């Protein structure tokens, strides 16, 4: 009898375990049926001082701009169906009718006016060349943008997600409210941002019911979370760790070309001891000394293309070949240094009038960690032609700007992005004498008046194809003639993705990636 009771007890335990397992499987099936995606990001970079949540860290598709940027960096309709230039610095945009914010309020010209004049950050208004009163309501679905000075690149600039339209009268930090395919659920700083499917979305409904973005700053922890199934997608993977990702079972890499650029900006007007690169011949020798293909394979495991500009090829289009750039020719680099009077010393480092050819390379934009181990590779390649390089790594862009303002360096290693469709944006931001960055950039790297003239003309010409041609000519001056910039590569935008995740197409510019096409394969 006792054995019978024991047998019954064991049977009940087995049934209970089986039942719990069944419940677990059911919960898993329910989760998959609900289409929930978990994305692992690096550090939380939401700019709360500008009341920005879910716009750039990441772009959670809460907000939408009047226009969008496609994968070829061309501008396409979004909240505006069409637009036209009407003269007198005036752009007219015709809004899509019937679009509603997540709170049920209708998208109108008044909401667009309020967003562009009051909600977007001041630097955004400066780039657009607008101020209070610049946006005019023509009627309920028509708005005029009148710039304070000629600016024919307004549509291309508006494609930036920072120019997304916010719902009037809503706190954008406590409850970000836009028109996008996903609506805000909750945000906990440095922990997670959660959004859910917008059931009333005006466009094609998203396939996912919920997306959770988890902030996991440590790269190893983020990849361990992917391997353990705690997250489905990992972004911002160090290039040297891509081989490790490729070896993971059930994980693939999703990539997009024409992504972030990596380049060296060269100090052209530095004071001793940072005055060597005043000599254009030395600057050009550096360009020919760099083996880009070796860097792409060794540092980025093939996930990059050789680039001869700091602008995506898709923007320059048919005019990209106006920029010649540099190949790998160490003999030519050596000859240029010989011609400039720098002769090899007994230890292989060149000297001139008793001075060694020593340069300081500053690595730190956006941070030294994302650029590793490139500085050491460049150091060795430049040493091979007789240039001694001292590496200074700084933790973030604030420290980087601090050294730049003081002129404490010769070679400035950067990784940056083109985040809108304006071909003049990066050249004006970084290298124009009256650029958005002010004297921080124009003094150290300025290539001259002709460069400024071409960028100004490109900003003010109505024809976007002519604008790209003018910008390509300006880049030819920047890179080929004055050589104040030496491009290295255009990185792929790379995500590590679980095999069950389908339909996710990373955008070359990460801030433009859309999540509404992704889904979980059952």
3-state secondary structure of 323: coil
Given this structure, which CATH class describes domain 261-491? alpha beta
Average pLDDT over residues 497-513: 95
- Distance in angstroms (rounded) separating the CA atoms of residues 24 and 200: 32
Contact 359, 390 (CB under 8 A): yes
- Please tell me the predicted confidence (pLDDT) of residue 13: 39
> What number of residues does the chain have?
522
Average pLDDT over residues 323-332: 97
**With 70 as the cut, is the pLDDT of residue 32 above it?**
no
**With 90 as the cut, is the pLDDT of residue 287 above it?**
yes
Q: What is 37-51+192-253+494-520's CATH topology?
A: D-Maltodextrin-Binding Protein; domain 2 (3.40.190)
- Distance in angstroms (rounded) separating the CA atoms of residues 108 and 116: 13
pTM for this prediction: 0.86
DSSP 8-state secondary structure symbol assigned to residue 434: T
3-state secondary structure of 211: strand
Average pLDDT over residues 209-229: 96
Which tens digit of pLDDT belongs to each residue from 299-308?
A: 888 989 998 8
Domain boundaries, the chain: 37-51+192-253+494-520, 67-163, 261-491
- Distance in angstroms (rounded) separating the CA atoms of residues 170 and 174: 8
- Distance in angstroms (rounded) separating the CA atoms of residues 215 and 193: 8
| Second CATH level (architecture) for the domain 67-163 | Alpha-Beta Complex (3.90)
Average pLDDT over residues 217-229: 94
- Distance in angstroms (rounded) separating the CA atoms of residues 425 and 406: 25
Which tens digit of pLDDT belongs to each residue from 139-163?
A: 999 999 999 999 999 999 999 999 9
As a whole number, the mean pLDDT across the chain is 91
Average pLDDT over residues 58-86: 96
Around 147, how many Cα atoms within 13 Å sit in the side-chain half-sphere?
25
Percentage of the chain surpassing pLDDT 70? Answer: 93
Beta bridge partners of 521: none
**With 90 as the cut, is the pLDDT of residue 29 above it?**
no
- Please tell me the predicted confidence (pLDDT) of residue 441: 67
């Amino acid at each position: 009898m006792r054995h019978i009771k024991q047998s019954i007890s064991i049977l009940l335990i087995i049934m209970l375990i089986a039942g719990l397992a069944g419940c677990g499987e059911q919960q898993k099936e329910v989760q998959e049926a609900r289409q929930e995606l978990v994305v692992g990001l690096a550090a939380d970079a939401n700019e709360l001082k500008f009341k920005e949540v879910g716009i750039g860290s990441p772009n959670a598709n809460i907000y939408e701009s009047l226009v969008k940027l496609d994968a070829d960096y061309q501008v396409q309709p979004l909240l505006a169906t069409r637009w036209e230039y009407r003269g007198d610095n005036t752009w007219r945009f015709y809004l899509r009718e019937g679009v509603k914010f997540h709170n049920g309020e209708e998208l109108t010209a008044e909401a667009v006016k309020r967003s562009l004049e009051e909600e977007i950050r001041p630097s955004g208004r400066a780039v657009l060349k607008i101020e209070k009163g610049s946006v005019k309501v023509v009627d309920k679905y028509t708005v005029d943008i009148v710039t304070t000075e000629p600016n024919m690149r307004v549509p291309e600039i508006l494609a930036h997600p920072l120019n997304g339209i916010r719902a009037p009268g809503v706190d954008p930090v406590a409850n970000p409210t836009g028109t996008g395919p996903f609506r805000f659920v909750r945000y906990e700083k440095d922990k997670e941002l959660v959004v859910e499917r917008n059931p009333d979305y005006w466009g094609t409904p998203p396939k996912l019911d919920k997306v959770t973005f988890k902030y996991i700053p440590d790269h190893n922890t983020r990849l361990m979370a992917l391997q353990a199934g705690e997250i489905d997608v990992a972004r911002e993977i160090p290039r040297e760790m891509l081989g490790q990702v490729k070896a993971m079972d059930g994980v693939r890499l999703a990539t997009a070309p024409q992504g972030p650029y990596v380049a060296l900006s060269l100090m052209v007007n530095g004071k001793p001891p940072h005055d060597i690169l005043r000599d254009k011949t030395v600057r050009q020798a550096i360009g020919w000394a760099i083996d880009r293909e070796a860097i792409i394979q060794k540092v980025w495991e093939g996930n990059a293309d050789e680039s001869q500009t700091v602008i995506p090829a898709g923007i320059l289009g048919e005019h990209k070949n106006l920029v010649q750039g540099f190949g790998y020719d160490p003999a030519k680099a050596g000859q240029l240094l010989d011609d400039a009077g720098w002769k090899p010393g007994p230890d292989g480092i060149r000297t001139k009038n008793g001075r060694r050819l020593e340069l300081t390379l500053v690595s730190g934009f956006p941070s030294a960690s994302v650029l590793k181990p490139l500085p050491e590779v460049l150091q060795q390649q430049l040493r091979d032609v007789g240039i001694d390089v001292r590496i200074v790594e700084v933790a973030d862009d604030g420290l980087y700007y601090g050294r730049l303002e003081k002129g404490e360096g010769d070679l400035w290693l950067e990784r940056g992005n083109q985040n809108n469709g304006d071909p003049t944006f990066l050249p004006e931001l970084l290298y124009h004498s009256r650029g958005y960055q002010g004297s921080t950039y124009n003094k150290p790297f300025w290539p001259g008046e002709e460069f400024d003239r071409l960028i100004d003309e490109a900003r003010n010409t109505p024809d976007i194809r002519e604008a790209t041609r003018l910008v390509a000519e300006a880049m030819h001056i920047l890179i080929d003639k004055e050589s104040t910039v030496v491009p290295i590569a255009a990185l792929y935008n790379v995500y590590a993705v679980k095999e069950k995740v389908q339909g996710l197409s990373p955008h070359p510019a990460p801030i433009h990636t859309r999540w509404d096409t992704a889904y979980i394969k059952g």
